[in-house]
């Protein structure tokens, strides 16, 4: 049996798709009132007011008439009846799929505005006669409809469908002549459809209309659009606005004056920065989110949001936050630079010429905030923090004060319900005074009362009047919080209670519903719904993949952690094993795009069966987004595994996740995690894992420059792998040792390369066989044994092409072939190989690979007698390397810059460039690049 209720149009009820007759008059008013507050208590007094639309007769008669109306409505609905009696009132109990209003709001939240708009069948509740409903409720519904319609039209314009919606927009501006957003969309659609004259005429029409009707000018946004049209700056598509704000704060009361101050300060010229500070529990975050939503129209290019966890004792590294924000701004993973300064500069560049609001919640201090600030006018920053952050240049601080008594009573009443709060107004006022107007304390008190409906308000007021125990009653920082959270937790069904406890294993971090499901061994979506309904889990919006995220409040997380510690250790360990296994499986699928190249083969894992394979692939479809969304949880899972001595699980997770995520963490954090894994593996007797981790540790360090110390560590790795007869690992270590020894010393290492080839063949791993052949070919070419080098490199390329190897592997081989050909003067082969390598890395959108291949192509151009083209390419590559913090690549690019500049006869510039480079890049350990710089410098000095 299916039931459907409809309020987005004439009131309708369907039972198994057949209409159910709803009694006209008060019966429809009653049902409509309850449906507009689905699953919420509506008091008898409010219903009486609605049913009479004015002053009812005697109270006794009104209540009896209401009871009769409810009875008749239930009888008419029959099997479709969802009206339930509660103490002092009624509610209509409906599932999200049974009421079109709930489906509409869910679609809007998911961003499917077209489907949401299609649910409307006409004016809301058109067949319900009630002045109160059409005065108080229907306008709000209509506002929601128009907002969804505007967003749907924005999406149509974004997709290039301007000409298809012109007629609709003309009709909408007739129906809503003073709604300026429709006029802006109409002007945009007309302009993009080639109807410029009509677009300008539309602006004149709304200008006249506003002047005649309201005596005002068009809004700044409409005037700016008009100017953009005049300047031809509105093209066929626009950059999509981004909103990362959490849902608007529910149950917010008061603070109107403070909201006005925030708006005023954020309207200042330049890049205004407003810091909202105040005591713990005063509601800084709630107020910040409320203010940000009110300001959305001022920042049409979007609103960025980041939690900085300043109050947690473990504030987020701004390097990680910047990576997250850059991905949200559609920066490709390979283009995210390494290092704080580079990422901060990239972030500022992304915000240039945009009007965006950056919201930073719970900042720890000035050093954490400074790298996250925009640099150009048009943007603004709103920060919440326990500190005033006076060290942030230009920041204006506003203190968020406690609520006054009237606002405090309103907040507590909104938690309790107006009817219950009205039973003892003196007690409510006493509780507000005892709480000092702190919203968190009021919500704690309200939650305790709401969880125990039989508890008299005067009882809590009396306990709070005793100053000796007031903090015990209201504290949120120790185990006394059990008295507040206990009733809510105990009221949960067993499976939802398990889910709540198990979330304590992860702490206060954002999670998806599948995480909740695997930890509790149940349906994650349903469990999340129960916890959200019980106010024990917060919705925090969508991640970059579009997946909803949820979070335990910090104090609830502490409470849940205490509860889970009381569970059977073995049972909890099995739940965490299942979670780690599923996380590992999802990460493996998400990271598939980055496998290949010189990586060691991953240790195979048995895929998790906690979710269907199709669901796992859906979650991992946006590989970058999934990995970035889960990066905090991945790191926590790795640390949990290490604490529990689950070394193999930790290693498998590190090996897969860090194929991609190593560029998102700070360099030092990557090294630290590798070190922790290495030491745990040694302690557990897992030597192969330990040495593999050490090899990866060295590989990370060597990106900053080659040293004798690092070469010695590579040699130690090779010795260890040889002793264990680990041929794959031996091949990788020897290949790296071969290449980097030549880089540092400038001397070819043929013997080492031949040992690597033997190990590569013995390993049976194709990519290690080709990579070791590549290094051997490179060494032979350096020794000027070109015929042998050509044979070896061609063999490696043939193996890779036949196996349809990843493009990055083939590109690296082609690059080495180009280098060998260039050294022996075969310029046609060098040009062909270098161009194909550059094409492949460009298709991959691999910023680092593109820079290396561009450097090599510039060398070939120089050899072909085109120094101007070579200089342009080398300078482009140098800029990319500097942005990435890739010093080894930078010194190679600057060597080509010096050589091309020398060929152009600009001797003074060569002297400046080469002198500076030899000093700045002395620690990179690239002997060949340094020698080329010295030769160029000497020649320039001689000629000058």
Q: Are 381 and 414 within one domain?
A: no
- 465 phi and psi angles, rounded to 5 deg: -70, -20
Q: Are 395 and 410 within one domain?
A: no
pLDDT on residue 278: 72
Helix or strand run (H / E) with residue 18:
strand 18-20
The domain tally of the chain equals 6
pLDDT band, residue 469 (cuts 50/70/90): low
Q: What is the pLDDT of residues 614-654, one digit of tens each?
A: 998 888 888 778 888 888 899 899 999 999 999 999 999 98
**Total-model pTM:** 0.56
Tell me the average pLDDT across 8-23: 92
Q: Where are the beta strands (DSSP E) in 823-872?
A: none
Q: Name the DSSP letter for residue 268.
A: S
Q: Are 392 and 319 within one domain?
A: yes
Does the residue 299 lie in any domain? Answer: yes
pLDDT band, residue 14 (cuts 50/70/90): very high
Q: Name the DSSP letter for residue 159.
A: T
Residue at which a domain ends, from 175, 205, 230: 230
pLDDT on residue 596: 60
Mean of per-residue pLDDT scores for the chain:
86
Q: What span, in angstroms and rounded, lies between the C-alpha atoms of 532 and 429?
A: 29
Contact call for residues 528 and 537 (beta carbons, < 8 A): yes
Q: What is the pLDDT of residues 894-920, one digit of tens each?
A: 999 999 999 999 999 999 999 999 988
Contact call for residues 353 and 379 (beta carbons, < 8 A): no
What CATH number corresponds to the domain at position 298? Answer: 3.40.50.300
Q: Are 249 and 369 within one domain?
A: yes
Helix (H, G, I), strand (E, B) or coil at 473: helix
Q: Are 435 and 394 within one domain?
A: no
pLDDT band, residue 479 (cuts 50/70/90): very low
Helix (H, G, I), strand (E, B) or coil at 311: helix
Q: Are 274 and 388 within one domain?
A: yes
Q: What span, in angstroms and rounded, lies between the C-alpha atoms of 654 and 858?
A: 37
What's the gap between Cα 725 and its chain centre?
Answer: 43
Domain limits for position 395: 242-399
Q: Which of 132-146, 422-436, 629-643 has the lowest mean pLDDT?
A: 422-436
Q: Which two tokens stand for residue 484?
A: 């507040």
Q: What span, in angstroms and rounded, lies between the C-alpha atoms of 323 and 346?
A: 10
Q: Name the DSSP letter for residue 511.
A: B
Is the C-alpha dihedral spanning 841, 846, 849, 852 positive or negative? positive
Q: What is the pLDDT of residues 523-580, one digit of tens each?
A: 999 999 888 877 678 788 888 788 899 988 665 777 788 889 889 999 999 999 999 9
Q: Which two tokens stand for residue 747?
A: 């001397």
Q: Are 210 and 286 within one domain?
A: no
Q: Are 393 and 252 within one domain?
A: yes
Residue at which a domain ends, from 83, 105, 138: 138
Q: What span, in angstroms and rounded, lies between the C-alpha atoms of 315 and 367?
A: 11
Q: Are 438 and 519 within one domain?
A: no
Q: What span, in angstroms and rounded, lies between the C-alpha atoms of 879 and 862?
A: 19
Q: Across-strand partners of 15?
A: 3, 18
Does the residue 146 lie in any domain? Answer: no
Q: What span, in angstroms and rounded, lies between the C-alpha atoms of 22 and 36?
A: 16
Q: What is the pLDDT of residues 70-120, one digit of tens each?
A: 888 988 999 899 999 888 889 999 999 999 999 998 888 777 888 899 999
Q: Are 256 and 394 within one domain?
A: yes
* Sequence-separated (6 or more) residues with CB below 8 Å from residue 761: 769
* Sequence-separated (6 or more) residues with CB below 8 Å from residue 275: 363, 383, 384, 385, 388, 389, 392, 395, 396, 397, 398
Q: How far is CA 243 from CA 104, 299, 646, in A?
A: 19, 10, 39
Q: Are 515 and 423 within one domain?
A: no
Helix (H, G, I), strand (E, B) or coil at 523: coil
Does the residue 587 lie in any domain? Answer: no
Q: Are 280 and 382 within one domain?
A: yes
Does the residue 677 lie in any domain? Answer: no
Does the residue 872 lie in any domain? Answer: yes
Q: How far is CA 545 from CA 247, 412, 542, 629, in A?
A: 17, 37, 8, 8
Does the residue 482 lie in any domain? Answer: no
Burial class (CB in 10 A: 0-12, 13-18, 19+), 424: middle
Q: Is the pLDDT of residue 476 over 70?
A: no
Q: What span, in angstroms and rounded, lies between the C-alpha atoms of 419 and 436?
A: 23
pLDDT band, residue 474 (cuts 50/70/90): low
Q: How far is CA 165 from CA 2, 67, 185, in A?
A: 36, 49, 9
What's the gap between Cα 1 and its chain centre?
Answer: 40
Laid out side by side, the sheet with 89-92 consists of 42-43, 89-92, 83-86
Q: Is the pLDDT of residue 507 over 70?
A: yes
697-734 burial: b if 16+ Cβ within 10 Å, else e: bbbbbbbbbbbeebbebbeebbebbbeeebbbbbbbbb
Tell me the average pLDDT across 258-264: 90
Most confident of the following: 597-606, 876-885, 894-903: 894-903
What CATH number corresponds to the domain at position 184? Answer: 1.25.40.10
| Angle, alpha carbons 252-536-506 (nearest 5°) | 120
Q: What span, in angstroms and rounded, lies between the C-alpha atoms of 349 and 309?
A: 25
What CATH number corresponds to the domain at position 532? Answer: 1.10.10.10
Quick one: which of 550, 504, 544 has its CA closest to 524?
550
Q: What span, in angstroms and rounded, lies between the C-alpha atoms of 435 and 446?
A: 11
Q: Name the DSSP letter for residue 603.
A: P
Beta strand 538-542 pairing with 242-243: unpaired
Does the residue 729 lie in any domain? Answer: no
Q: Where are the beta strands (DSSP E) in 175-301?
A: 242-243, 273-277
pLDDT band, residue 5 (cuts 50/70/90): very high
Q: What is the pLDDT of residues 362-416, one digit of tens each?
A: 898 889 999 999 988 889 999 998 777 778 888 888 888 888 888 888 888 888 8
pLDDT band, residue 237 (cuts 50/70/90): very low
Does the residue 662 lie in any domain? Answer: no
**Cα dihedral: 891, 895, 901, 904 (round 10):** -160
Contact call for residues 710 and 701 (beta carbons, < 8 A): yes
Q: Name the DSSP letter for residue 537.
A: S
Q: How far is CA 935 from CA 620, 696, 825, 895, in A?
A: 51, 35, 19, 10
Residue at which a domain ends, from 399, 419, 445: 399
Work out the percent of the chain whose per-residue pLDDT is above 70. 93
Q: Is the pLDDT of residue 236 over 80?
A: no
């Amino acid at each position: 049996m299916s039931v459907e209720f409809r309020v987005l149009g004439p009131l309708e009820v369907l039972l198994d798709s057949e209409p159910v007759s709803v009694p006209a008059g008060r019966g429809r008013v009653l049902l409509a009132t309850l449906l507009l507050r689905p699953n919420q208590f509506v008091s008898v007094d409010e219903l009486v007011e609605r049913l009479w639309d004015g002053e009812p007769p005697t109270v006794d008669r009104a209540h009896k008439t209401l009871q009769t109306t409810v009875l008749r409505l239930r009888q008419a609905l029959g099997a479709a009846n969802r009206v339930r009696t509660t103490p002092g009132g009624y509610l209509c109990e409906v599932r999200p799929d049974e009421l079109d209003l709930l489906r509409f709001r869910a679609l809007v939240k998911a961003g499917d505005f077209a489907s949401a708009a299609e649910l409307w069948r006409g004016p809301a509740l058109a067949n319900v006669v009630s002045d109160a409903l059409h005065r108080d409720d229907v306008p709000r519904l209509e506002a929601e409809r128009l907002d969804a319609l505007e967003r749907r039209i924005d999406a149509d314009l974004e997709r290039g469908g301007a000409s298809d919606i012109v007629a609709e927009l003309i009709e909408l501006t007739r129906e809503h002549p003073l709604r300026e957003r429709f006029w802006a969309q109409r002007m945009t659609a007309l302009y993009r459809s080639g109807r410029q004259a009509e677009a300008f005429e539309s602006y004149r029409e709304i200008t006249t209309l506003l002047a005649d009707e309201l005596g005002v000018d068009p809004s700044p946004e409409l005037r700016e659009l008009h100017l953009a049209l005049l300047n031809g700056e509105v093209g066929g598509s626009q950059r999509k606005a981004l909103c990362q704000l959490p849902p608007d704060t529910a149950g917010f009361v008061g603070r109107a004056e403070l909201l006005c101050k925030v708006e005023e300060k954020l309207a200042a010229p330049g890049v205004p920065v407003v810091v909202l500070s105040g005591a713990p529990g005063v509601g800084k975050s709630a107020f910040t989110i409320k203010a940000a939503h009110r300001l959305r129209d001022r920042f049409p290019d979007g609103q960025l949001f980041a939690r900085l966890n300043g109050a947690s004792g473990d504030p987020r590294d701004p390097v990680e936050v910047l990576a997250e924000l850059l991905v949200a701004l559609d920066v490709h993973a390979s283009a995210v630079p390494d290092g704080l300064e580079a990422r901060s500069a990239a972030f500022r560049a992304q915000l240039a010429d945009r009007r965006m609001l950056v919201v930073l919640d719970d900042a720890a201090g000035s050093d954490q905030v400074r790298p996250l600030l925009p640099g150009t006018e048009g943007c603004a920053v709103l920060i919440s923090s326990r500190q005033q952050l006076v060290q942030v240049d230009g920041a204006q601080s506003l203190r968020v004060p406690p609520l006054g008594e009237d606002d405090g009573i309103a907040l507590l009443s909104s938690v309790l319900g107006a009817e219950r709060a009205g039973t003892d107004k003196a007690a409510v006022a006493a509780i507000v005074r005892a709480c000092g107007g702190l919203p968190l304390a009021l919500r704690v008190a309200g939650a305790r009362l709401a969880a125990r409906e039989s508890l008299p308000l005067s009882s809590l007021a009396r306990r709070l009047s005793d100053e000796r125990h007031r903090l015990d009653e209201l504290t949120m920082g120790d185990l006394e919080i059990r008295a507040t959270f206990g009733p809510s937790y105990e009221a949960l069904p067993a499976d939802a209670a398990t889910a709540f406890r198990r979330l304590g294993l992860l702490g206060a971090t954002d999670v998806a519903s599948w995480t909740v499901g695997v930890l509790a061994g149940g349906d994650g979506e349903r469990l999340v719904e129960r916890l959200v309904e019980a106010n024990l889990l917060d919705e925090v919006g969508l991640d970059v993949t579009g997946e909803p995220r949820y979070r335990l409040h910090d104090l609830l997380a502490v409470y849940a952690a205490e509860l889970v510690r009381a569970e059977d250790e073995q049972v909890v360990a099995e739940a965490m094993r299942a979670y780690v296994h599923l996380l590992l499986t999802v990460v493996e699928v998400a990271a598939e795009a980055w496998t290949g190249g010189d990586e060691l083969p991953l240790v195979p894992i048995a895929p998790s069966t906690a979710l269907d394979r199709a669901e796992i692939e859906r979650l991992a479809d946006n590989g970058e987004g999934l990995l970035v969304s889960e990066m905090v949880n991945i790191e926590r899972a790795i640390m949990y595994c290490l604490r529990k001595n689950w070394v193999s699980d930790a290693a498998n997770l590190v090996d897969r996740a860090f194929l991609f995520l190593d560029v998102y963490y700070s360099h030092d954090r990557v090294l630290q995690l590798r070190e922790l894994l290495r030491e745990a593996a040694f302690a557990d007797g897992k030597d192969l894992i330990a040495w593999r981790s050490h090899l990866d540790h060295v590989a990370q360090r060597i990106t900053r420059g080659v040293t004798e110390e690092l070469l010695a560590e590579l040699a130690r790795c090779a010795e260890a792998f040889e002793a264990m007869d680990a041929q794959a690992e031996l091949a990788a270590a020897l290949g790296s040792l071969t290449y980097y020894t030549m880089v540092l010393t400038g001397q070819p290492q043929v013997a080492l390369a031949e040992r690597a080839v033997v190990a590569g063949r013995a390993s049976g791993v194709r990519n290690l066989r080709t990579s070791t052949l590549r290094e051997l070919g490179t060494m032979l070419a350096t020794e000027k044994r070109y015929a042998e080098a050509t044979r070896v490199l061609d063999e490696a390329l043939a193996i890779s092409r036949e196996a349809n190897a990843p493009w990055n592997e083939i590109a690296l081989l082609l690059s080495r072939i180009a280098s060998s050909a260039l050294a022996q003067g075969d310029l046609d082969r060098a040009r062909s190989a270098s161009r194909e390598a550059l094409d492949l890395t460009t298709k991959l959108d691999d910023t680092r690979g593109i820079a290396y291949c561009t450097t090599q192509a510039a060398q070939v151009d120089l050899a072909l007698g085109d120094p101007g083209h070579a200089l342009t390419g080398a300078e482009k590559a140098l800029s990319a390397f500097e942005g990435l913090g890739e010093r080894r690549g930078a010194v190679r690019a600057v060597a080509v810059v010096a050589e091309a500049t020398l060929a152009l006869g600009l001797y003074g510039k060569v002297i400046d460039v080469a002198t500076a480079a030899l000093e700045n890049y002395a620690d990179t350990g690239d002997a060949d690049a340094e020698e080329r710089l010295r030769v160029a410098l000497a020649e320039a000095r001689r000629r000058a």
